[in-house]
Amino acid sequence: MKRAIYPGSFDPVTFGHIDMIERSAKMVDELVVAILINSAKNPLFSVEERVSMLEEISGHIPNIRITSFNGLLIDYAREVDASVIVRGLRAVTDFEYELQIAQTNRIINSQIDTVFLTTSLEYAYLSSTIVKEVASYGGDISHFVPERLIDRIYAKYS
Burial call 50-84: b when 16+ CB within 10 Å, e when fewer: bbebbeebbeeeeebebebbeeebbebbbeeebeb
CA distance 90 to 127: 9
Query: 2, 13, 7: which is closest to 152 by C-alpha?
Result: 13
pLDDT of the residue at 158: 86
pTM (2 d.p.): 0.93
Among the listed residues 17, 50, 87, 132, the single catalytic one is 17
Split at pLDDT 50, 70, 90, the class of 137 is: very high
Predicted confidence (pLDDT) per residue in 87-104, tens digit: 999 887 788 899 999 999
Residue 58: active-site member: no
Among the listed residues 90, 106, 127, 152, the single catalytic one is 90
Split at pLDDT 50, 70, 90, the class of 149 is: very high
